[in-house]
Structure 1
Amino acid sequence: MSCVIGLDIGTTSTIGIILDVSSSRILASATRPVTLSSPQQGWAEEDPAEWWANVCAIVPELLQQSGLQNTEIAAIGTTGMLPATVVLDSAGTVLRPSIQQSDGRTGQEVKEIAAEVPEAQFVRRAGNGINQQLVASRIRWIEEHEPEVFARIATVFGSYDYINWRLTGVRRVEQNWALEAGFVDLSTNDLADDLIALAHLRRDMVPDKAGSAEIIGQVSPEAAAQSGLAAGTPVVGGAADHIASAYAAGVLASGDVLLKFGGAADIMIATDTARPDPRMFLDYHIIPGLFMPNGCMSTGGSALNWFIAQFAKAEAAEAEKRGISPHQYLDELAAEIPPGADGVTFIPYLLGEKTPIHDPEARGTILGLSLNHDIRHLWRALLEGYAYAFRHHIEVFNEMGFPTTRYLASDGGSKSRLWMQICADVLQAPVQLLTGHPGSCLGAAWLAGMSTGATDDWGGVANCVSYGDEVQPDPAQRAGYDAGYGFFRETYRMQREQRQ
């Protein structure tokens, strides 16, 4: 056996697996919850100490489940959300809670950066647009509102960079965190002093960039004592969670697309060229030589959960009696309603929207209601709204010069057969379902296997995943959904014009 650990420092939980690379088998898995706090409207923060405590609890559980000794772990890979922002002082003390990727407090700072640097110039150079994903906007916010914290900053990096540092004592930033942070010059693929300076930081405050499969250090004796790992175990740079998840799902060749139905809805495409566009985010693919342009919506499954909590309490109670989830029960009800939800349209911009419109002031909208409509129409319209939003992303990818050839679907929402059929019909393309995808920790684990020479097959990670049905589109629904999509886009355009 050649066994590695993959750790996912996720938004709602910390997840770990042990993978036997030689047999492509997962030998153990464990998870611990993470507390997401919002002390003010639009804020999203977490405590990095909780991530580390979770790692120290998960590793012994993984070893116990698998029956392995810690010396049998060949390497460790990490993954996490982008671009979480962690700041340390010179002694390694965390100065404030991490500012998470879904945080929305930096609108003013984004405007300031946009006034200093032409966006077209910035996009060509840094690969991403001027928006609230930029770490420079978060650091400027700290400078303005927490000057005593800003004055003590010695290191800025991401969530899984923080865990790698706790494991090894080595401060590095993984390449995709650095790219989405806005600190990488695409022409050289190196950190650029002047881009870092936009955050009002010195170059030495951002650690050197690491490749995803690069061994950055070994588990220190102190970390070994706390976590149960063996001192000297190699640790690799890791990867962004959405990139690791798409890679593990089988997004391996140009044109492959992953539709990720988590708490937020994500979409990733593999490409062999970088064509920066301010509407989308740009990341490196895990496979050298490839890129992964991608989009992230502010909501997804979180909006479905909100809808159930606010409007479907009776249905949730009935679902509990039947021993199924509220989502399953509402799907059964909504399946009685024809495509198009009898004229009801749901614009799901409940927290503003990230890609491709980058509009923090956008809001959720329900249109077309009449007295003949009920909870079934609303639920179906909500599912259709996200399918339309995915189609918008696909159009942008195509406009960027990236043809889409294959669609895969993962995470919790992909278990809804109704939702997957809606997506296939709206996109008018088959959607391949995944049934055995443990998430981004699998991609991180495979990276660890690559780093140690346990495997040299980048595509071998696909052997760890099971594939389910391929949902076929119904050609009879094309015209109706084409019209519905046009109405979806036009409604938002008119709403935005009214605000301007």
Structure 2
Amino acid sequence: MRCTLGVDIGTASSKGVLVDVDGEILATATRAHEVSRPHTGWVEMDGLVWWDEFVAIARELIAAVPEAEIGGVGVSGMGPCILLVDDDDVPVRPAILYGVDTRAHVQIEQMTAQIGAEEIARVGGSLLSSQAGGPKLVWVAEEEPEAWARARRLFMPASWLARRLTGAYLLDHQSASQVSPLYDIEGERWHEPWWARYAGSIEQPPLRWAGDVAGTVTPDAASATGIPEGTPVITGTIDAWTEAVSVGAHEVGDLMLMYGTTMFLVATGEETLRTPSMWTTAGAFAGTRNLAGGLSTSGALTSWLKDLTGADYPQLLADAEESGPGARGLLMLPYFAGERTPIQDADARGVVAGLTLGHTRGDLYRAALEATALGVRHNVETMRAAGADIGRVVAVGGGTQGRLWMQIVSDATGLVQDVPETTIGASYGAAFLAATATATAATGAPVIADWNPVAEKIHPDETLRARYDALFDRYLRLYEGSKDVVHELAAEQKKEAA
């Protein structure tokens, strides 16, 4: 039985699927892990764990379906991450993660002053922020010169897996476009002058598209994983983009809304749209561009409340349902780990306004769900103001298992959300890309709408429109009104942690 294997390295876990030619999931495997936060604003992870978990997942999937014939391997992972390795492919330090890691704020200011914000946006598409990979490279060079002196190659989770499986050194265009400002978005190539200036000692990874075949499984990788030698492996890309593929939300006019540890939004179009507060990137496929955004907390916030209250998710959801729209007069800002888009404020912090002695954990949980929904609305309105034509919204990710959360997002934003049959996420998208890359004339290329049809549509409750319009106005004003005090508190937190 011909199958494809897909593995995604996420923030909280690595997930794998084994899928047949019709898209049916035959087996799944997961390995939970934790990121490291050694200092305020730092979020990193041992890159060797990514390979160890891939090996364990691959062996578990193969053992679960002994009759499977692996025809291709798909890889995916969180990003943009910065994993630097030496000549022998040994990491010189832990990988620095995506926009939730805010350590490079000084380098962002320096590079912006050196190059100029207008020129950075012209070449790379986006202004520099905590999401940009370039300043994190410079941070390593300036703050850890011994590690930088040994660094020779740059990887992200997907490209690291491709390297370990095939020996190929490469990076996909989408991931490269987030190593801002080192990628020329219109030319779809590395920007040589800035690469030489800021990353000159690092060997440039050749660029491919996400679904391109990177190479085939080597004898050593076959021995480690149980995947047959010679099996094709795709290049892969960042998980949010692979998730968009998994639900067919990568066509022009689509918006993918990913409910996960963080919330991520990817709008796909043909034009390069630029706006200071969002991320302009190359698409996963040639000829497409994305305007993307992300909340720094979403599932992480609900998880924090679960741990804080000691209640489980079903109980908290029931309590939040009982609380009702508006959380009985509570309003929360979800900036518990700073915020990415659209405010781009690493020193933002969580705020809960309106608390009384009569409020319950259900009110707090409802306020948290509404806070993330209002954050989504803020992003969508910013995207549309920049020219994004959003015709269809597709929900994906672990958070789609909770109907209440999706309903609140639709109510707060006015968006209709398509919920596909399979919402397992990026590992499924990686398996689809592998199936597409290795399709034969006899089988034909798979179609994601056949693999993963829409199972449900979430419609907004129009009777709540005025209520959420008013709440959104307060949400925006609460941030502006509390920003100065919150920044002072953030400075104190940094002093305490130093």
Do they fold alike, i.e. is TM over 0.5? Answer: yes
Report 1:93-492 matches (<5 A): 93-101=90-98, 102-182=100-180, 183-202=182-201, 205-310=203-308, 312-313=309-310, 316=311, 326-454=312-440, 460-492=447-479
Q: What is the alpha-carbon distance in structure 1 between the residues aligned to residue 281 and residue 66 of structure 2?
A: 37
Structure 1 residue 386: deviation in Å? 0.9
Q: Are the equivalent residues in 1 in contact too, given 2:398–2:424 (CA < 8 A)?
A: no
Structure 1 residue 154: deviation in Å? 1.0
Identical-pair percentage: 30
Q: What is the alpha-carbon distance in structure 1 between the residues aligned to residue 3 and residue 345 of structure 2?
A: 44
Code of the aligned partner of 1:88: V
Q: Are the equivalent residues in 2 in contact too, given 1:153–1:205 (CA < 8 A)?
A: no
Structure 1 residue 135: deviation in Å? 2.0
Aligned residues: 484
Q: Which residue matches 2:6?
A: 6
Q: Deviations over 1:172-198 (max 9, x none)?
A: 112121110122212210111123235
Q: Are the equivalent residues in 2 in contact too, given 1:44–1:100 (CA < 8 A)?
A: yes
Residue range with higher mean Cα deviation, 77-86 or 211-220 = 211-220
Code of the aligned partner of 1:228: G
Aligned partner of residue 41 in structure 1, secondary structure: coil
1:52 matched to 2:51? The reply is yes
Structure 1 residue 435: deviation in Å? 4.1
Q: Are the equivalent residues in 2 in contact too, given 1:2–1:454 (CA < 8 A)?
A: no
TM-score normalised to structure 2 length:
0.92
TM-score normalised to structure 1 length:
0.91
Q: Which residue matches 1:32?
A: 31
Change (3 A) 1:109 1:407: same
Q: Are the equivalent residues in 1 in contact too, given 2:435–2:446 (CA < 8 A)?
A: no
Structure 1 residue 241: deviation in Å? 0.4
Q: What is the alpha-carbon distance in structure 1 between the residues aligned to residue 456 and residue 221 of structure 2?
A: 43
Structure 1 residue 489: deviation in Å? 0.7
Q: Are the equivalent residues in 1 in contact too, given 2:8–2:426 (CA < 8 A)?
A: yes
Q: Which residue matches 1:322?
A: none
Q: Are the equivalent residues in 2 in contact too, given 1:248–1:462 (CA < 8 A)?
A: no
Q: What is the alpha-carbon distance in structure 1 between the residues aligned to residue 415 and residue 93 of structure 2?
A: 46
Q: What is the alpha-carbon distance in structure 2 between the residues aligned to residue 394 and residue 384 of structure 1?
A: 15
Q: Are the equivalent residues in 2 in contact too, given 1:437–1:466 (CA < 8 A)?
A: no
Change (3 A) 1:229 1:412: closer
- Alignment RMSD: 2.1
Q: Deviations over 1:265-303 (max 9, x none)?
A: 111222122212231123333343222321111111111
1:62 matched to 2:49? The reply is no
Q: Are the equivalent residues in 1 in contact too, given 2:20–2:26 (CA < 8 A)?
A: yes
Code of the aligned partner of 2:183: V
Change (3 A) 1:208 1:252: closer
- Give ranges in structure 1 of 5+ residues lacking alignment: 317-325
Code of the aligned partner of 2:347: E
Code of the aligned partner of 2:137: I
Q: Deviations over 1:349-405 (max 9, x none)?
A: 001101111100111111122344332322222111111110001101111111222
Q: What is the alpha-carbon distance in structure 2 between the residues aligned to residue 457 and residue 442 of structure 1?
A: 19
- Give ranges in structure 2 of 5+ residues lacking alignment: 489-498
Q: Are the equivalent residues in 1 in contact too, given 2:254–2:267 (CA < 8 A)?
A: yes
Structure 1 residue 457: deviation in Å? 7.8
Q: What is the alpha-carbon distance in structure 1 between the residues aligned to residue 405 and residue 224 of structure 2?
A: 44
Residue range with higher mean Cα deviation, 107-116 or 271-280 = 271-280
Q: Deviations over 1:408-457 (max 9, x none)?
A: 22222222222222211111232223342221011111211222234898
Q: Are the equivalent residues in 1 in contact too, given 2:439–2:445 (CA < 8 A)?
A: no
